Structure 1
Amino acid sequence: MRAWYHLYPALPIFHGREQLRAGLGALLGISLCALIVSLGVKLELSSFHLIAPLGATAVLVFCVPNSPLAQPWSAVIGNVTAALVALLVLQLVPGPWSVGVAVGGAITAMMLVRALHPPGGAVALLIALDPAPALEAGPLFALMPVGLTTAVLVLAAIAYNRATGRVYPFRQPEANDTGNSALRLGLSTEQLGELLDRFNQSTNLGVADLGRLLAAAEAEAAQHRFDGTTCADIMSTSLITARLYTPLPEAARLFRSHAIKSLPVVDDDMKLRGLVLQADLLGSVAAQDRAVAWRQRSPRRTVSDVMRPADRAVSHDLPVGALLNRLAAQGSEVVPVTREGRLVGILTRSDIMRLLLHGAEERPAA
């Protein structure tokens, strides 16, 4: 019985809306190709007709648009390459060997040009089994009908997928892209690519989508680990603050007296206006020409001159798990916590570590 279990469907159950979305997209895409072909027939373009492998291309570009095998380069170049290889094989290899050589050669060529597309194998097989139309048209057969109809289908898929909320073509990471490092667990594009190669999944999943999946999995795991714990539960509420008009020497005294690493800047209503770190004060001191000039001029300077924007403040009811990426990957040492815009606490890496060490039994109940 267990042996039969491995023959059960591997795909999950599709949601009804997704079935309708993909099926309708394929209907529209193939219908558009058929319409263009019918116009070509009226213009007496005898070599312009639909080919059966186009249906397999429709499955990929409308049902699994995030697959590397379904991307525009793979679809168009893959099908065209397969057609060219099959035409060449027909000229060099006698039957019945030409059938197998055409398909195997097409797969090898598609991989060589990084355009692996499963329907390309069907294109090669179709040409090898029914060579008359292809031989009559010659090498142009690879461009019309194969290349042109595939391009029309891909363009239809781009428009339809985007209109229905799917990303196609999929996300190609920039070579120097570091903006989403926090969304990828701190892993670089190269490291994510190495993971795909290690598990032989480069043809099934793109680097950017792998990063999104890993980040979502980490966030989900963090939510379970810190279930019910919000920023308000573990934040430090003994606040040492400064005002916009607080002189820099006074801010330096607060750092020394209270052994703090950050100094929130608030107005008279405790609304957060900015944040001063020790490095900000040190940078201000280093900017002075001489120590004497610092003592003479610093009383006229206030924290508003050196503070950084408080754009990383979070709400008091935010789950702690949502902060892990920020504290780990973005290098944040401290996160202000607000309630309706007013500062109510400070959250640091030490607070997260304390939560980890306390264990699940010490955490507030959800």
Structure 2
Amino acid sequence: MGRRPGVDILRGAIGAGLAIFFVTFIVTLLPHSRQANIYLVSSFASTAVLLFVLPNSPLAQPWASMLGMLISAVVPILVLQIIPPPYADGLAVAAAIATMMAARALHPPAAGIALLVVLEHEAGIHLGLGFAVFPIATLTGVLIVFAMIYNRFFGISYPTRPLSSNAARDIGTRGPARTLSQRDLADLLVEFNHSANLAPADLARLLAAAEHRAAEALLAETLVRDVMTHNPVSVTPEAPLSEIVSKMTTLNVHTLPVVDSLGYYLGLVDQHDALDELFKEFDLLRRPFRFRAAPPEAEARAILHTDMQTVEGDTPVGTLLERLARREARVVPVTEAGHLTGILTRTDIMALLLKHSPEAHLKDDLESDEVAPAPPPTNAAPEAVNGAQDTQESPAKDQTVDDPVAPITPAP
């Protein structure tokens, strides 16, 4: 069992202690309670552990607690009508457990009630159905009501509520866990023999939290250099506006990095700024009365942005998520000693997440079962093979909206 915070330890222990004190006080106030076979049983303490320490457990829910205790008080009385002690001891416990499980009301402390009834019978005390009503059912009900009030005071939902039709709202996630219904989650718990340990709603929250933690760990452990696009397509500061627009249109991208002749990063050219400048030039050309020649075509240096902070290749990807979430930050330039070495885009991060998705693992498993393709001829030059691979991989990059780095081959 994992370590629990001190607050949780005190909350559960104090709640169980107060509940037992409360039912003890009730029994004490009753006159001649012992003579009337009205007394506390040790199973109440075990029930208090479930109700106050593990209130989310299916074993602690009101249906399981109340019905389980009632079943375990009635079944041994019926067994004793047929089989005498000591043979009735084990049979009464077994029959109580089987009946509780069949009624979907398994409550482990209740099995002690079944054995108690048989032991009292051996001692000459014959407990009837009245014992099942009071103290068993009545005091169990008191414990359940007390647990509802106590847990609600600490913000704990007891009884545990099932998932509604809007599972995404219940578990607060947008991951794959939200697509599982209450029935799917319950079937999973039955399949792995955990239906008595975990409620479907808690399993949904657990899956959502695990997905979130896994994504955080993946992004925190992955470095920018591992997912960035290397050697991005760029323009020089002297590149005219027509060249910039042509590259953006051909690559289907919104941003292009600007580097000098030595490869030093200077800034970024955004599609919106390029189009604004282009519209200004078109507007000048369309004027009917022009007494002077049109101005020269704008260059990249006139419209580039220099306020985009660069990062190095050993930066964790997770630290850049908030930055890339902003509308104006389409890409993050990656530099090494001032030289542009790559660019990280939203598409790169999406590709990383998709690579580790369940669908990707399933696809890899299916592909591993297939026959591997034949290797290229041994007499083929390495350059030709690499060139063929680049040609096949480039179109996938060309189709991404935010990825400005797909290499293109200039037309002859």
For normalisation by structure 2, the TM-score amounts to 0.53
Q: Structure 1 residue 122: deviation in Å? A: 0.3
Q: Structure 1 residue 344: deviation in Å? A: 3.7
Q: Judge conservation of contact 2:70–2:136 (CA < 8 Å) in 1.
A: yes
Cα distance in 2 between the residues matched to 1:87 and 1:121 = 13
* Partner in structure 1 of residue 128 of structure 2: 138
* Partner in structure 2 of residue 124 of structure 1: 114
Q: Judge conservation of contact 2:120–2:126 (CA < 8 Å) in 1.
A: no
| Equivalent residues in 2 for 1:142-157, closer than 5 Å | 142-157=132-147
Cα distance in 1 between the residues matched to 2:85 and 2:124 = 16
Deviations 1:308-329 (A, max 9, x none): xxxxxxxxxxx979x9xxxxxx
Corresponding position: 1:16 with 2:14: no
Cα distance in 2 between the residues matched to 1:34 and 1:200 = 36
Q: Judge conservation of contact 2:12–2:53 (CA < 8 Å) in 1.
A: yes
* Partner in structure 2 of residue 182 of structure 1: 174
Cα distance in 1 between the residues matched to 2:33 and 2:119 = 28
Corresponding position: 1:66 with 2:59: no
Q: Structure 1 residue 40: deviation in Å? A: 2.6
Q: Judge conservation of contact 1:87–1:134 (CA < 8 Å) in 2.
A: no
Deviations 1:133-181 (A, max 9, x none): 9965521211111001111111111111221233321232246756447
Cα distance in 2 between the residues matched to 1:179 and 1:145 = 41
Task: Pick one of 350, 353, 357 that aligns with 2:350.
Answer: 353
For the aligned residue pairs, the C-alpha RMSD in angstroms reads 3.9
* Partner in structure 2 of residue 89 of structure 1: 79
* Partner in structure 2 of residue 267 of structure 1: none
Amino acid at match of 1:128: V
Amino acid at match of 2:350: M
* Alpha-carbon distance change, 185 to 94 in structure 1, aligned in 2, over 3 angstroms: same
List gaps (5 residues or longer) in structure 2.
223-227, 229-251, 254-316, 332-344, 357-412
Corresponding position: 1:208 with 2:201: yes
Cα distance in 1 between the residues matched to 2:36 and 2:123 = 10
Question: How many residue pairs get matched?
Answer: 254
Cα distance in 1 between the residues matched to 2:346 and 2:181 = 23
* Alpha-carbon distance change, 54 to 44 in structure 1, aligned in 2, over 3 angstroms: closer
Q: Structure 1 residue 358: deviation in Å? A: 10
Corresponding position: 1:50 with 2:40: yes
Amino acid at match of 1:158: M
Cα distance in 2 between the residues matched to 1:350 and 1:222 = 16
Q: Judge conservation of contact 2:58–2:196 (CA < 8 Å) in 1.
A: yes
| 1:169 counterpart SS class | coil
| 1:14 counterpart SS class | coil
* Alpha-carbon distance change, 346 to 127 in structure 1, aligned in 2, over 3 angstroms: farther
* Partner in structure 2 of residue 220 of structure 1: 213
Q: Judge conservation of contact 2:68–2:107 (CA < 8 Å) in 1.
A: yes
Q: Structure 1 residue 101: deviation in Å? A: 1.0
Identical aligned residues as a percent: 40
Amino acid at match of 2:50: L
Cα distance in 2 between the residues matched to 1:346 and 1:143 = 69
| 1:93 counterpart SS class | coil
Task: Pick one of 146, 163, 167 that aligns with 2:157.
Answer: 167
Higher RCO structure (Cα 8 Å, ≥6 apart): 1
| 1:59 counterpart SS class | helix
Amino acid at match of 1:126: L
Cα distance in 1 between the residues matched to 2:67 and 2:123 = 20
Cα distance in 2 between the residues matched to 1:136 and 1:205 = 38
Amino acid at match of 1:208: A
Bigger Cα Rg: 2
Deviations 1:88-115 (A, max 9, x none): 1111111111111110010011111110
* Partner in structure 2 of residue 333 of structure 1: none
Q: Structure 1 residue 350: deviation in Å? A: 4.4
Cα distance in 2 between the residues matched to 1:29 and 1:357 = 51
| 2:220 counterpart SS class | coil
Cα distance in 1 between the residues matched to 2:107 and 2:355 = 52
Cα distance in 2 between the residues matched to 1:69 and 1:164 = 20
Q: Structure 1 residue 213: deviation in Å? A: 0.7
| 2:128 counterpart SS class | helix
| 2:179 counterpart SS class | coil
Cα distance in 2 between the residues matched to 1:357 and 1:44 = 68
* Partner in structure 2 of residue 109 of structure 1: 99
Q: Structure 1 residue 214: deviation in Å? A: 0.9
Corresponding position: 1:199 with 2:189: no
Amino acid at match of 1:15: P
* Alpha-carbon distance change, 57 to 43 in structure 1, aligned in 2, over 3 angstroms: closer
Cα distance in 1 between the residues matched to 2:206 and 2:142 = 31
Cα distance in 1 between the residues matched to 2:123 and 2:24 = 18
Cα distance in 1 between the residues matched to 2:64 and 2:355 = 52
Amino acid at match of 2:200: V
Cα distance in 1 between the residues matched to 2:355 and 2:57 = 43
